[in-house]
């Protein structure tokens, strides 16, 4: 993965100007060789709340920044997958929102052999995140998992159309 040279400066300036503790940006996808795949992963229009995050996981790990001054030093939990999601939910559960920056400041390297490449395999880890980390009820977990799957399917179709 790559950051644009100005990523941190731009993002921290945005956070100061908007008095926010947590933000994320758009990013582009590249292949193993660093070639642009012409896919832009856009951010939603509005800040992300805890419940909104549960619906679709819209924060790309390589783009997220949080303020240690405002939130303290936080660590990703020691779980096999979805560590980033667990941390974002921990932050959002406090009432903080994640503020989207409508600017591509990073490049995500898409690899077929990566830990997150097999989307079907991630379902069980997403389920564990809902049930074991977030302690959601069975019904809530089913609802949010179905929402996440539907959003991901539409995003995949959208990617293939481009």
Range 114-120 contact pairs with CB under 8 angstroms and sequence separation of 24 or more: 115/81, 116/81, 119/152, 119/156
**Is the predicted pLDDT of residue 159 greater than 70, yes or no?**
no
- How far is Cα 81 from Cα 69, in angstroms, rounded to an integer? 27
Q: Which has more confidence, 151 or 107?
A: 107
pLDDT band at 161 (very low <50, low <70, confident <90, very high): very low
Q: What is the average pLDDT score of the chain?
A: 91
**Span 30-46, mean pLDDT?**
93
Query: For residue range 86-139, what is the model confidence (pLDDT) as tens digits?
Result: 999 999 999 999 999 999 999 999 987 655 556 677 899 999 999 999 999 999
Is a pLDDT exceeding 90 seen at residue 47? yes
Q: Which two tokens stand for residue 78?
A: 């020691």
Tell me the pTM: 0.89
- DSSP, residue by residue, 8-39: HHHHHHHHHHTT-SEEEEEEEEE-TT--EEEE
Percent of the chain with pLDDT over 90: 80
pLDDT at 153: 86
Q: Cα(90)–Cα(140) distance, rounded to whole angstroms?
A: 17
Calpha distance 43→139 (Å, rounded): 28
pLDDT of residue 157: 58
Distance CA(27)–CA(121), nearest Å, equals: 24
Write down the pLDDT at residue 107. Answer: 97
> What is the tally of structural domains in the chain?
1
Longest C-alpha distance within the chain, in Å? 44
Domain enclosing residue 51, as ranges: 2-161
pLDDT for the residue numbered 69: 97
Q: How confident is the model at residue 59 (pLDDT cuts 50, 70, 90)?
A: very high
Residue 23 main-chain phi, psi, to 5 deg: -145, 165
> Are the C-beta atoms of residues 77 and 83 closer than 8 Å to each other?
yes
For residue 89, how many C-alpha atoms fall within 13 Å in the half-sphere facing its CB? 20
């Amino acid at each position: 993965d790559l950051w644009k040279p100005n990523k941190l400066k731009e993002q921290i300036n945005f956070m100061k100007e908007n008095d926010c503790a947590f933000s994320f940006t758009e990013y582009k996808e590249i292949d193993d060789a660093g070639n642009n795949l012409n896919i832009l992963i856009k951010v939603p229009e509005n800040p992300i709340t805890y419940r909104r995050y549960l619906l679709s996981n819209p924060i790309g790990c390589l783009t997220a920044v949080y303020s240690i001054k405002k939130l303290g030093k936080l660590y990703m939990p020691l779980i096999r997958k979805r560590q980033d999601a667990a941390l974002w939910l921990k932050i959002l559960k406090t009432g903080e929102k994640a503020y989207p920056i409508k600017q591509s400041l990073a490049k995500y390297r898409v690899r077929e052999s990566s830990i997150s490449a097999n989307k079907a395999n991630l379902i069980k880890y997403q389920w564990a995140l809902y049930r074991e980390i977030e302690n959601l009820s069975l019904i809530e977990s089913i609802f949010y998992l179905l929402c996440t799957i539907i959003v991901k399917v539409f995003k995949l179709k959208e990617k293939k159309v481009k």
